[in-house]
């Protein structure tokens, strides 16, 4: 029995159509996967400084509740970063990337607080955990094993944005006699724990940057007094 040539042709066409359809689906899936990935956005130290300055100003204006900002704040933060960053950054800071950076700051701040809650440990914003001696090394190793490597960078150096995050998240760590004051000279044992100062001066909220590091030099545009915390906010970088 002879095979109809038309039937063979139809089978070939069907096979080709199936192959093309499968290839198209794979391409679409790959594009969707790439589109869903968060791009690696690099942040310079002045950009981080500018973002936190902006967020503190938003908090003082009453646009923060329970440690969270509204979506409109992140949109405004992205616009702010475009205006104040000169020359233009290598990567544009979107609302999503600004929110993500703040999330990274919160994670760092909270792991430092986990460390500070341990009895007898040290923390200061210049030297970090300042691990010295066999006992301190053991405590440090046990902490990293239990809590992960979030503190690893702070074994011998501090975090310049701790005070700024403390201003944004006032209720995230015990206040009063257990609050850390980087300017005080008297400590309790080796723990680096001192009596909390009544107010934090503006110069301690954010780290000072060498002039040559600054990517933008906006004027000192405002000085606002927070009704609740009595903190002076410098919206520009002097």
pLDDT band at residue 26, thresholds of 50, 70 and 90? low
- Predicted confidence at residue 86, as pLDDT, reads 75
Entry pTM:
0.60
In-domain check, residue 115:
yes
User: Residues 216, 236: contact at Cβ < 8 Å?
Assistant: no
Domain assignment present for residue 70? The answer is yes
Residue, of 75 and 67, whose pLDDT is higher = 75
199 falls within a domain: no
Residue 35: pLDDT over 60? no
In a domain, 78, yes or no: yes
- Cα distances (Å, whole numbers) of residue 204 to 82, 140, 162, 226: 26, 27, 10, 15
**140 vs 83, residue with greater confidence:** 140
Among candidates 122, 165, 128, which has minimal Cα distance to 150?
128
The single-letter DSSP state of residue 37 is S
Instruction: State the DSSP string of 157-169.
Output: S--TTHHHHHHHT
- On the question of pLDDT at 136 being above 60, the answer is yes
User: What's residue 211's pLDDT?
Assistant: 47
- The position carrying tokens 């069907």 is 14
124: three-class secondary structure by DSSP: strand
Name the residue range of residue 165's domain.
Answer: 45-170
Considering the domain boundaries, does residue 6 fall inside one?
Answer: no
Calpha distance 22→42 (Å, rounded): 37
235 pLDDT above the threshold of 90: no
Q: Identify whether 62 is part of a domain.
A: yes
Number of domains in the chain: 1
Structure confidence by residue, pLDDT tens digits, 182-199: 333 333 333 333 333 334
Is residue 112 situated within a structural domain? Answer: yes
Q: Is residue 236 part of a domain?
A: no
Residue the block writes with tokens 């210049």:
126
């Amino acid at each position: 029995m002879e095979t109809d040539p038309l039937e063979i042709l139809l089978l070939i066409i069907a096979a080709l159509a199936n192959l093309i359809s499968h290839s198209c689906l794979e391409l679409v899936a790959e594009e969707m996967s790439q589109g869903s990935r968060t791009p690696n956005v690099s942040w310079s130290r002045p950009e981080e400084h500018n973002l936190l300055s902006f967020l503190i100003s938003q908090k003082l204006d009453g646009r923060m509740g329970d440690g969270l900002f509204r979506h409109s704040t992140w949109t405004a933060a992205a616009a702010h970063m475009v205006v104040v960053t000169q020359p233009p950054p290598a990567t544009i800071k979107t609302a999503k990337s600004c929110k993500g950076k703040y999330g990274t700051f919160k994670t760092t701040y909270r792991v430092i607080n986990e460390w500070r809650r341990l009895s007898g440990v040290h923390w200061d914003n210049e030297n970090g955990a300042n691990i010295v001696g066999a006992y301190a090394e053991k405590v440090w190793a046990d902490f990293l094993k239990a809590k992960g490597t979030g503190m690893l960078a702070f074994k011998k150096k501090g975090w310049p944005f701790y005070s700024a995050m403390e201003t944004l998240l006032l209720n995230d760590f015990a206040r009063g006699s257990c609050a850390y004051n980087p300017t005080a000279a008297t400590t309790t044992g080796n723990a680096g724990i001192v009596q909390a100062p009544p107010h934090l001066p503006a110069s301690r909220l954010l780290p000072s940057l060498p002039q040559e590091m600054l990517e933008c030099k906006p004027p000192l545009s405002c000085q606002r007094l927070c009704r609740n915390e009595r903190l002076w906010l410098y919206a520009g970088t002097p």
